[in-house]
Structure 1
Amino acid sequence: MKRTIKKVAVLGSGIMGSRIACLFAGIGVQVLLLDIVPKEATESTNVLARNKVVNDALQAAIKSNPSPVYTPDVVKRITTGNFDDNLKDIAACDWVIEVVVERLDIKRSLYEKVEQYRKKGTLVTSNTSGIPIHLLAEGRSEDFKKHFCGTHFFNPPRYLRLLEIIPTKDTDQSVTNFLLHYGDLYLGKTTVLAKDTPAFIANRVGVFGIMNIFHVMQKLGLNIDEVDALTGPVIGRPKSATFRTADVVGIDTMVKVAKDLRNNLPDDEAKEMFVIPAWLEKIVTNNWLGDKTGGGFFKKIKLPLAEGSPEEQKRDTEIQTLNLDTFEYAPRNKPKFATLDAVKPIEDVRQRIPVLFAGTDKAGEFYGQLFYALFSYISYRIPEISDESYRIDDAMKAGFGWEIGAFETWDLLGVAKTAEMMKAAGFTYASWVDEMLAAGNTSFYKTEKGKRLYYDIPSKTYQLIPGTGVFIVLSNYTDKVVWKNSHAALYDIGDEVVALQWNTKMNSIGSEVLDAANKSIAIAEEKYKGLVIANDGANFSAGANVGMIFMFAVEQEYDELDLAIRMFQNTVMRVRYSSVPVVIAPHGLTLGGGCEMNLHADKVCAAAETYIGLVELGVGLIPGGGGTKEFVLRAADEMHEDEPETITLKNRFLTIATAKVATSALEAYSLGILRKGLDEVVMNQNRRITEAKRSVLEMYDSGYVMPVPRKDIKVLGKSALGALLVGVNGMQRAGYATAHDALVARKLAYVMCGGDLSEQSLVSEQYLLDLEREAFLSLCGERKTLERLQSVLKTGKPVRN
């Protein structure tokens, strides 16, 4: 049957339920969110009193940070109610998602009521993480069982991309297939088929990994700060690493999962790894459970006032670390390991990991113990928790934020070589690994013709990872390089389309990246139908190379700086005025120069989680790579007779002047960064390059014609400039802007009004680019701008001066 999801019921409005409701509302689905009637309102007829639990929970979710909604208005799609009065309304829903308290009896009791009202064929799923899915379905009708399974979202569901699908033996295969596809295409998730085993896939491996780290830490005599330095971004794991993650999740939650796993896994060869260390038991006994109790492994401490300071003075704070020997908090120490120092120049984590693993100090020993135990554990989990290795890697990357999966890491280190080292160190692994090697297969993955294949154990052959045929991953096209320089590469991605990717720190844009963009467009114009600009990194781009700007400015190399800005402007104009379509597929941070490049594309296919904006005001500059010009151009095109002309321009001005960044691609529409009806939002980040390629081909096949440079941009001159300057002065007097903020904003206003023109005029794009560049150069000579740039280079944040 063809299944369409128009309305979803979410039963339970706690932290997960309310946020799952927001996720569905964000993709355009109508949501019915229900919860219990408060005890004090059981006899009341007041709807607000009876819905207090659900309404309070939803409001708390909306106000939380990070936001669970793409844009504030999506909340209008959520209707609230309670189980007593509104459960009957699930009859109009296509999917019922249960997210109530983790008790089997309560869930079963709720399902009995659900079955009274759901229409046949309606999907019913549970978000449980601790109760076997098959137990939940016991006693239900055949139709209920057929359409029931587990759908385990990870918290926060908007941001963590993992969705585990856990069918029972009674679940219809078409239901499983539908949920895997729907989660991928519409919810933007990495959907992973999991077996109905304790903790499923991600938590099973993830909690083992954390407990293993605790044991290795004790064995090697490492402290909390050292372990977090070793297990964070340096190996492609989240910045919160191990102990900070535990504080965020809740130490008691982590301990409960570990204990449940040990109790429920009598045949797990590594079950002793789930034994809670004495020091961890003591932390739980002390109720030091992490952020929710004000302290766990880390605690924010108020520092004493300096002698003679008034008591009412605000005291400084610092984050201190728990000493596991003394159980006292102390200032954090920056760990020193020769192995970590050795990898500082290595940007690519895939190149870092072999160097870390080969380290001869205590850090190298830590990595050896860490990886040996992890590789051993995952090998034995097949086929227990999954029949395929790639599902384990997908789950860890999407659920725990690992940049590289466990089997992928083993591949990096060399499967055969590492297996021998494991044996020598006393570690074992599943026999299928030796069988794979004996058959002449040396890795768990390989790439052919741009597609990623995994080693299939039963057939002893390599198979295409199901569902990935529609994904374009540029790192899979290393054998299809058309052109490259030291920081960028142009790939042939098939169907006469090429794709440009660059790899710099934070994917910043410097001269080599600009060279690559110009060269790529020239090659595309000569031999191909069009160009896609995208990358596989964590972010599209954090903007222009701030270090280069700062160096030229400090050394007063203004001619060099002028040339650099011209080059950036000319490059984005080359993106706009090429003879073939250029489509950009951003994701993650897309700031400053990265945003400016997108503003000039024929089309943008942005991942939903794209945080895009012109942030130059924060560092004391204005957008100098065509961003200011483009906002003026768009404002001119948007002006209409039934509103004052300055309104549209003022809104555009404020977006730049406040360095506003869209918190999602959908919000970027309201900021005028993405264009409604032209630019596209792609829910699943893995699909954005595919969509960009499709758009290139559509434009080419429709008879793409290069746009004509604009010479008809209406600027308002003095009439608008006065109004904008009054606003800037007001913000400064009210304390919202510093004197330097105001100086930069005045420069911005001057450019956006077309200069000090006595009347409205029509100007060219080049006229505005020249004004923009002149303002940018003049601000580079300001001491406070240089202070802000220097602060960004040192700390990652601009100083407020």
Structure 2
Amino acid sequence: MKRVIKRVAVLGSGVMGSRIACHFAGAGIPVLLLDIASPVPAGGEGQPYNKNKIVNDALVAAIKSNPSPVYTKAVVQKITTGNFDDDLKDISGCDWVIEAVVERLDIKQQLFEKAEQYRKPGTLITSNTSGIPIHLMAEGRGEDFKKHFCGTHFFNPPRYLRLLEIIPTPETDKEVIDFLLDFGDRMLGKTTVLCKDTPAFIANRIGVFSIMYLFSLMDQLGLGIDEIDALTGPVIGRPKSATFRTADVVGIDTLVKVANGVYENCPADEARQIFKIPEWLNQLVARKWLGDKTGQGFFKKIKNDKGVSEILVLNLKTFEYEPRQKPKFGSIDAAKLMEDLPSKLKMLMAGKDKAGEFYRQFHYGLFSYVSHRIPEISDELYRLDDAMKAGFGWEIGAFESWDAVSVAKTVEAMKAAGYSVADWVDEMLAAGNKTFYIVENGKRKAYDPASKSYKLLPGSDAFIILSNYGNKTVWKNNSCRVYDIGDDVLGLQWNTKMGTIGGDVLTGIQTAIEKAEKGFKGLVIANEGTNFSAGANVGMIFMLAIEQEYDELDMAVRLFQNTTLRARYASVPVVVAPHGLALGGGCELSLHADKVFAAAETYTGLVELGVGLIPGGGGTKEFALRASDEMQQGEPENIPLQNRFFTVATAKVATSALEAFNLGYYRKGTDEVVMNQDRRIAEAKRSVIELYDNGYIAPVPRTDIKVLGRSALGALLAGINGMQKGNYATDHDALVAKKLAYVMCGGDLSEPAIVSEQYLLDLERQNFLSLCGERKTLERLQSVIKTGKPVRN
């Protein structure tokens, strides 16, 4: 049968339950959120009583939390609340029931017993438990319940952490497993990982081992908390929170609970002693210094004598909080010069200082541990890597890291240092297989220990990774590569820091379009870094401006404008697939594409006002053009212009791709959101083919844009002056906003007029260049270069 999920019930509205409900609502699925009935308040008769107070308060707290669990506030309307006493019967109208109550087996079993009375046959029923064996929860239930029951372990916060572990029992129907793996991927945007019903499943088993092993190494090598966090953060492809900050965020008690669970329930684990809690960690729990939830853990935030917030770090020997240190390691300083992570890892593990020794010991231990978890926790090694990337934010997984530093050489060094590897690794190497992953014809395969062969990764057709097409490079320069990604479609990506757009990237975009026009159906523009693009190369703009090279600056802005127009008016479709940050120039490129396939977690906006500039790559022109189109659809003429102006003037950034439609960055009916960012490039490619095969006709440059001149300009200037007087805008903010208003109104025209795109682009460029000569703009640009944030001047 074809299973359809029209409504979901979430049982339990705690931190996880309420946020799971919000994520389903964000995906467009109506949710019934239930919890225990609120107790009757003290005070007797006549007092107001709401049986749904617990669930309602929990939902309100979730919605107010930061980061937000919803893509837009409007999706909350899809959530209906209720209580177990009165509303459990309503799960009969749901297609999937998810339990997310307290982590106690007896309570879960009691709830499932009640739910079985109302659940209609064939309905999916799953538990979000993170530690209780899945099969135990289904004991005593009927055959249909057991066939449709399994674990679905979301990671917190569900909107942002992409991992969804699927844990079947021996009785779970295969159709249910396959459906959940697919639905979680396509509809919920998750990396769905099939797990065995073993303690801590996959991500927590490997992740907590990694943290506990670091604790052990810290003692062995005499390293401190600040040193460990410096060694285990972005430099090795891990989150900024590294190790100890991550523990504070997750909760030290949670970490201890998982570690204890593995220690007690995995007697055959060869590294079992690593999970034994050190005395200093037990002390933290005893003192209730559990991290963020209690206000202090490994770190503590205070106000110093000057009233300035300061973060202190715990000295584990004295249990006193001290000022943080900035550790310096030669190996790390050298590795930071390397562009790609595999090269960094090689250099770090070869280091001759204490950091090098740490990296060798840490990776040897990690590699040994993951090799022995196959087939205990998973039959497939790629699932371990997927789980760690999606659940713990690792840039590359353990087996991918092992490939990066040479499997054979590392195994030899590990054995010499006293570390073991699982037999299947030795067998793999003996058979002449040198890596855990290979790429063939743009498709990625992983080694399968059971069959002793390489197998295609699931979703290879749905997930396009541009770098897998390295042997099909059509053109490249220092920053960009253009690939033939099959079916007569080209793909372009660039590898600059934060995806910034400079001369090389603009040349790459123009070249890619030119090549696509000469023998391909179209072009997909995307990249695989953490972000699509943080905007134009601010350093280049600053250098040209500070040296007063205005002719070169004028040429640079013209090149940017011409490039976005080239994307708009190419003779073949150009589709952009952004994710992460898509700011400034990255947003402007999206504004000019035939279509945008944005990952749900895309943060886009025209943010140039913050650095004292106006959008200069066609963004100001495009918002004026779109305001004109909206005027012609019947709204009072000044309203669309005002809305568009204040979006740019306040540098509003959409906090999700869905919100980008509300702010006018994406076009309703044209642009689309892809829940799973791994699918966006494949979807963009499909769209290119569809547009081309349906007889694509390139648009023509617009000459019918209505601008309102002085009548609208006066109103906008009055608004700017009001914000300035109310101290919502500095004098320089006001100056920049006035330049923006001037361009969007078409200049100082005595009456409304019809103008061309080029007319607006010329105004945009002239005013952009004039702002580059302002001292306060230069101060803001310099501040961004030095600190990553513009100074408020």
TM-score range, shorter chain: over 0.9
Q: Which residue of 2 aligns with 1:610?
A: 602
Contact 1:99 1:127 in 2 (8 A): yes
The structure-2 alpha-carbon separation of the partners of 1:745 and 1:78, relative to structure 1 and needing over 3 Å to count, comes to same
CA offset at residue 350 of structure 1? 2.2
Code of the residue aligned with 2:35 in structure 1: it is D
**Corresponding residue for residue 311 of structure 1:** none
C-alpha contact 1:530 1:697 (8 A) present in aligned 2: yes
Matches within 5 A, 1:504-543: 504-543=496-535
Please say if residues 41 and 49 of structure 1, whose CA atoms lie closer than 8 Å, have aligned partners that are also in contact: no
Which of 669, 693, 706 aligns to 1:714? It is 706
Deviations 1:624-662 (A, max 9, x none): 000000000000001147532111000000100110000
Correspondence list, 1:167-566, <5 A: 167-305=168-306, 315-566=307-558
| 1:649-680, Cα deviation, whole Å (9 max, x unpaired) | 00000100110000110110011110000001
Contact 1:596–1:614 under 8 Å retained in 2: yes
1:590 maps to which of 568, 571, 582: 582
Note if contact 2:41-2:49 (Cα within 8 Å) is conserved in structure 1: no
2:706 alignment partner AA: K
1:71-127 alpha-carbon deviations (Å, 9 max, x no partner): 110000100000000000000000000000000010000001001101000000000
Residues in 1 aligned to 2:633 and 2:4: alpha-carbon distance in whole angstroms: 42
1:519-557: per-residue Cα shift (whole Å, max 9, x none)? Answer: 111000011110000011111000000000111111111
The answer for the alignment partner of 1:310 in structure 2 is none
CA distance in 1, matches of 2:273, 2:727: 59
Aligned residue number for residue 574 of structure 1: 566
Instruction: Supply the AA of the counterpart residue of 2:266.
Output: L
Task: Decide whether the 8 Å contact of 1:162 with 1:399 is kept in 2.
Answer: yes
- Equivalent position SS for 1:726: helix
* Equivalent residue number for residue 740 of structure 1: 732
Which residue is 2:777 aligned to?
Answer: 785
**3-state SS of 1:704 partner:** coil
Check the 8 A contact 1:300/1:317 in 2, yes or no.
yes
Is the partner of 2:732 in helix, strand or coil?
Answer: helix
Give, in whole Å, the separation in 2 of the partners of 1:48 and 1:157.
Answer: 32
Q: Secondary structure at the match of 2:50?
A: helix
Q: Which amino acid aligns with 2:120?
A: K
Aligned counterpart, 1:71: 72
Matched, 1:702 2:694: yes
Partner AA of 1:183 in structure 2: G
Q: CA deviation at 1:302?
A: 1.1
Greater displacement, 296-305 / 205-214: 296-305
Alignment-derived partner of residue 9 in structure 1: 9
Distance in 1, matches of 2:501 and 2:585, equals 7
What SS is found at the alignment partner of 1:491? strand
What is the alpha-carbon distance in structure 1 between the residues aligned to residue 735 and residue 435 of structure 2? Answer: 59
Output the amino acid matched with 1:32: L
Counterpart of 2:372 in structure 1: which amino acid? Y
Distance 2:240 2:439 in 1: 29
* Deviating more after overlay: 641-650 vs 414-423: 641-650
Secondary structure of the residue that 1:58 maps to in structure 2?
A: helix
Query: In the aligned structure 2, how far is the partner of 1:727 from the partner of 1:606?
Result: 33
Please say if residues 228 and 243 of structure 2, whose CA atoms lie closer than 8 Å, have aligned partners that are also in contact. Answer: yes
**CA deviation map 1:475-525 (0-9, x unaligned):** 111111000001100000000000000000001000000000011110000
In 2, the alpha carbon distance for the partners of 1:351 and 1:515 equals 27
Looking at structure 1, the residues matched to 638 and 694 of structure 2 have their Cα atoms a distance apart, in angstroms, of 37
The gaps in structure 2 that reach 5 residues or longer are none
Q: Equivalents in 2 of 1:469, 1:647: separation in Å?
A: 45
Amino acid at match of 1:702: N
* Residue of structure 1 equivalent to 2:154: 153
1:44–1:50 Cα contact (<8 Å) kept: no
- The answer as to whether partners of 2:526 and 2:532 remain within 8 angstroms in 1 is yes
Q: CA deviation at 1:49?
A: 1.2
SS at match of 2:40: helix
Give the SS at the match of 2:613: coil
CA distance in structure 2 between the partners assigned to 1:126 and 1:113 by the alignment: 15
Give the counterpart of 1:620 among 612, 634, 643. Answer: 612
Residue 37 of structure 2 aligns with which residue?
37
**Inter-partner Cα distance in structure 1 for 2:716 and 2:399:** 57
Question: 1:126 matched to which residue of 2?
Answer: 127
Aligned residue in 2 for 1:312: none
- The code of the aligned residue for 1:349 comes to L
- 1:39 positional shift: 2.2
Q: Within 2, Cα distance between the matches of 1:559 and 1:224?
A: 51
Check if 1:601 corresponds to 2:576.
no
Change (3 A) 1:2 1:679: same
- Look up the equivalent residue of 1:16 and give its one-letter code: M
Q: Secondary structure at the match of 1:793?
A: helix
Amino acid at match of 2:26: G
Q: How far apart in 2 are the matches of 1:334 and 1:45?
A: 61
CA 523–44 in structure 1, closer or farther in 2 if over 3 Å, else same: farther
Contact 2:610 2:651 in 1 (8 A): yes
State, as a whole percentage, how many aligned pairs show the same letter.
72
CA distance in 2, matches of 1:729, 1:562: 30
Aligned length: 792
Aligned-partner residue type, residue 488 of structure 1 = C
Note the alpha carbon deviations across 1:11-30, whole angstroms, 9 max, x for none: 00011000100111111111
Where does structure 1 lack aligned partners over 5 or more consecutive residues? Answer: 306-314
Q: What SS is found at the alignment partner of 2:727?
A: coil
Whichever residue aligns with residue 675 of structure 2, its letter is M
Q: Secondary structure at the match of 1:792?
A: helix
Residues 640-649 or 432-441, more deviating: 640-649
C-alpha distance in 1 between matches for 2:377 and 2:47: 48
SS of equivalent to 1:192: strand
**Aligned-pair distance for 1:470?**
1.6
Contact 2:526 2:576 in 1 (8 A): yes
Which residue is 2:139 aligned to?
A: 138
Q: Deviations over 1:696-741 (max 9, x none)?
A: 0011001111110011100000000000000001111111111111
CA deviations 1:734-784 (Å, max 9, x no partner) are 111111111110010000000000000011111101111111111111111
| Distance (Å, rounded) in 1 between the aligned partners of 2:615 and 2:333 | 36
C-alpha deviation, 1:317, in angstroms: 1.5
Looking at structure 2, the residues matched to 573 and 640 of structure 1 have their Cα atoms a distance apart, in angstroms, of 23
User: 2:283, 2:771 → 1: CA distance?
Assistant: 56
Query: Which amino acid is the alignment partner of residue 165 of structure 1?
Result: I
Return the alpha-carbon distance in structure 2 between the equivalents of residues 46 and 518 of structure 1. Answer: 70
Shift of 1:48: 6.2
CA contact (8 A) 1:41 1:50 kept: no
Look up the equivalent residue of 2:29 and give its one-letter code. Answer: V
Give the C-alpha shift of residue 347 in structure 1.
2.6
Alpha-carbon shift at residue 40 of structure 1 (Å):
2.4
2:379–2:450 CA contact under 8 A, matched in 1: no
Q: 1:45 Cα deviation (Å)?
A: 11
Q: Contact 2:40–2:49 (CA<8 Å) still a contact in 1?
A: no
Shift of 1:37: 1.0
Runs of 4+ aligned residues of structure 1 deviating over 6 Å after TM superposition are 42-48
